[in-house]
Amino acid sequence: MRIVVTGATGNVGTALLRRLAEEPDTTVHGVSRRPPEPEPPYDIAWTPVDIAKPGAEEPLADVMRGADAVVHLAWLIQPSHDEPMMYRTNVAGSDSVFRAALKAGVPHLVHMSSVGAYSPAAKNGLKDESWPTDGVSTSYYSRHKSAVEHQLDRIEREHPTMTVTRVRPSLILQPDAAAEVKRYFLGPLVPHLLFKLNVPILPLPKSMVLQFVHSDDVAEALVLVLRKKLGGAVNLASDPVITPQVLAEVMRSRHVPIPPLALRTAARLTWLAHLQPTSHGWVDLALTSPLLDTTRARDELGWTPRHNARDVLNELLDGLGRKEGVSASPPLKP
């Protein structure tokens, strides 16, 4: 089996390359804007392509010819103050990837979507893959994920012979992504030392209820999707659901409830002042995105995550304290 992976140097891409290296009779071709150093798991064939650039479809199609599947992982989180730039990669660039896959006759297209594609929902129950994917309007990340979902709707209507899979995970973490997480979401003003100390209080709204999943478990699900050629949408998340109280326990802290508006306002003002990189849209997404029902992944893929969500968080916090990353990967480099 020949697999082409876009965005293969990122958090999920690195985990997927590690996992695919264990698969017999499988070759992988990586696509990224900045090729990595040639060492495991990056010691594969690479083609540098910036999917946001005009004309990207042609070199992408050249790489994809003869592939059994394309796994599309390429996505921009930053610069959060330049949404047009992110749109060119996330939405227009995804369209280039999809058109290239169609031109090359690839039979299976796997897109890394997100819980962020879903419409808002109360946190009092789990939502399966039938929940609407119209996004959270105040979040650029959510708007982009929703827009790409609608692109895939059109592909499924117009090209029914192509198997299209949308993987919709919760927040994906691993220690190797600690440097990337800090850079993308916390910024330079938050010291690494903070994650080695006991923070006395954790001020968060009670409704900040989240799910997490380990990158290696996402990679395992992707391999199962590729093996079974499962089409449609698949939710991925690990137990338990993380409430603010659980998060405080993991951080050896004490949860102090605050109004959602207070957190949103603080995020908005500090983001507008360029003090930190996380916009208020991320707060809205965290407060309103649904909790995921993963029954389909477990029943139809036979997927069982090896890492529970508390362990995932603990490992990331340790990684943040130790400044962990992957030196060979441009996005994950400390």
DSSP letters, 228-268, are HT--EEEEE-EEEEE-HHHHHHHTT-EEEE--HHHHHHHHH
Total domains in the chain come to 1
Q: Tell me what pLDDT residue 189 has.
A: 83
Q: Tell me what pLDDT residue 199 has.
A: 81
Cα 104 to Cα 98: distance, rounded to the nearest angstrom? 10
State the helix-helix crossing angle for 260-272 and 280-288, rounded to 10 degrees.
Answer: 150
Residues in contact with 154: Cβ distance below 8 Å, sequence separation at least 6, in sequence order: none
DSSP, residue by residue, 66-117: T-SEEEE-------TT-HHHHHIIIIIHHHHHHHHHHHHT-SEEEEE--GGG
The enclosing H or E element of 127 equals strand 126-127
Mind listing the pLDDT tens digit for each residue in 35-50? 999 999 999 999 999 9
At 188, the pLDDT band (50, 70, 90 cuts) reads confident
Q: Tell me what pLDDT residue 168 has.
A: 98
Q: Is the pLDDT of residue 67 over 90?
A: yes
Classify residue 202: in a domain, yes or no.
Answer: no
Q: Is the pLDDT of residue 171 over 90?
A: yes
Cα 172 to Cα 181: distance, rounded to the nearest angstrom? 10
Q: Is the pLDDT of residue 209 over 90?
A: yes
Classify residue 118: in a domain, yes or no.
Answer: yes
Q: Alpha carbon of 291 to those of 30, 212, 219, 273: distances in Å?
A: 32, 10, 21, 32
What is the span of the domain harbouring residue 233?
Answer: 2-173+212-237+291-305
Q: Tell me what pLDDT residue 196 has.
A: 79
Cα 144 to Cα 142: distance, rounded to the nearest angstrom? 5
Classify residue 327: in a domain, yes or no.
Answer: no
Classify residue 12: in a domain, yes or no.
Answer: yes
The CATH number linked to 143 is 3.40.50.720
Cα 229 to Cα 168: distance, rounded to the nearest angstrom? 16
Beta partners for 255? 202
Average pLDDT over residues 313-320: 94
Classify residue 316: in a domain, yes or no.
Answer: no
At 78, the pLDDT band (50, 70, 90 cuts) reads very high
Cα 185 to Cα 279: distance, rounded to the nearest angstrom? 9
Classify residue 75: in a domain, yes or no.
Answer: yes
Classify residue 128: in a domain, yes or no.
Answer: yes
Classify residue 267: in a domain, yes or no.
Answer: no
Beta partners for 165? 110, 232
Beta partners for 166? 111, 233
Least confident segment among 108-122, 157-171, 190-204, 308-322 = 190-204
Cα 207 to Cα 205: distance, rounded to the nearest angstrom? 5
Which pTM was predicted?
0.96
The overall average pLDDT reported for the chain is 96
